[in-house]
Amino acid sequence: MKWILILLISINLYAQDKISIVAVGDATKDKDHLLITSSADKNEAAVNMLTSIIRSDFGFYRHLFELDATLIKETLYHLTLSFKANNLNVKVSNLRSKKNIFNKSYKENFKNIRTFAHTIADEVYKSITGNESIFLSKILFISDRGTTRVKDIKNLYLMDFDGKRKQRITYDNGMIISPSLSKDNSKIIYTSIESRWRKSSKGKIHKVKNPNLYLLDLKTKKKTLISDKMGINSGAVFDSSGENIYLTLSNAKNADIYKMNLKTRSSKRITTHYSDDVDPNVNEDGSLMTFLSGRSGRAMIYTMDPNGVEKKVKRISYVGKFNSAPRFSPDGKQIVFSSWVDNRFDIYKINSDGSNLVRLTKNFGSNEEPWFSPDGQFIVFTSQRVISRKKATQDVYIMNLEGEIISKVTGQYGKIYTPRWSN
């Protein structure tokens, strides 16, 4: 089902706004309209802002809703926002069936108006489509803000899905890479590149950089060292239970993928090939893992059953000089990844069985680190745009599954890496 969304936003006190929704594919069908009426006894500025945020939220679903201010006809859905004293009542009704779809009273929350607006937009979206939206989701990312000529700094930040309310969450003043959120969004696993002393083959002690793995509890702010084996401790992702992680370790000479229990720290080696295997990602039920491997002679995308050692390994990508960052869609049916083509990275999607390869970006900078939204309808990624010989910007963008760029959600916030959409 696809709708055309027609949204007139010009809220004053006791104003009326109309959203029109039309099914695509039959031009003779009447358009289904959503009429929004609002009344308030105060806070006109807050009402305007609230409505503006709701409008912006629906703008992300332009593949389902087309914003147009010219088609205003018969109303099907009626959304009413009634402000009285310190309470807001939100009701969505279907005028054809004469049934209320949603009816809820909120205590006024204009001090946290963005969450307030996203919540209302989410409820309206669900009342129309029956599905969850992205409106209350977050995006985790790394920024190099604070980097100087003598010291590279990369820290973790969290923001609303639309790029607002950015919040710094680590203060390591070092190099952080490869973050991942737990399924309940309460914990982050990430790698910090740190200095340590190491004895050479000749017995001399010297300082080396080592990627060590940490767990951060977002509620308690407690940081826990998970693995500091010599070599790579990186690329970790949680399983659906949150009790285990899949990660890359290289302490046994070459890089392989392991499954580790976070409580016992016991680990099981899953790949044993002589080529490096890195960057695992596992589907929801744990039946399939995708990863990056050099076993073909160059880095390509593979899948396997992670419940055994080298079980049902299958190469699924054959595009570009090399690939990176394979990630499952929430339903596990598709994988997005980056491929080096035409002297830059571009983003592709492919079915998890290796069929139906689709190129999503082209002639739009160098595009990397794709990650699906929790509803599976969008992909967040970074794109580097070269400004001059000495300057390039790298920001977070969101596109739909057809490769249409929906929004640039960061700007002038340092160079951005590895965006991860919350679950």
- Per-residue pLDDT tens over the stretch 288-301: 999 999 999 999 99
The CATH number of 6-129 is 3.40.50
Topology annotation, domain 138-421:
Neuraminidase (2.120.10)
- Per-residue pLDDT tens over the stretch 111-165: 899 999 999 999 889 988 899 999 999 999 999 998 888 888 999 999 999 999 9
Q: List the chain domain ranges.
A: 6-129, 138-421
Q: What is the DSSP string of 227-255?
A: E--SS-EEEEEE-TTSSEEEEEE-SSSS-
Give 241's contacts (C-beta < 8 A, 6+ positions apart): 183
Crossing angle of helices 113-129 and 44-59, in 10° steps, is 50
Exposed, middle or buried, 388 (CB in 10 Å: 0-12/13-18/19+)? Answer: exposed
Exposed, middle or buried, 411 (CB in 10 Å: 0-12/13-18/19+)? Answer: exposed
User: 63-77, 180-194, 317-331: which has the minimum mean pLDDT?
Assistant: 63-77
- Per-residue pLDDT tens over the stretch 203-214: 777 778 899 999
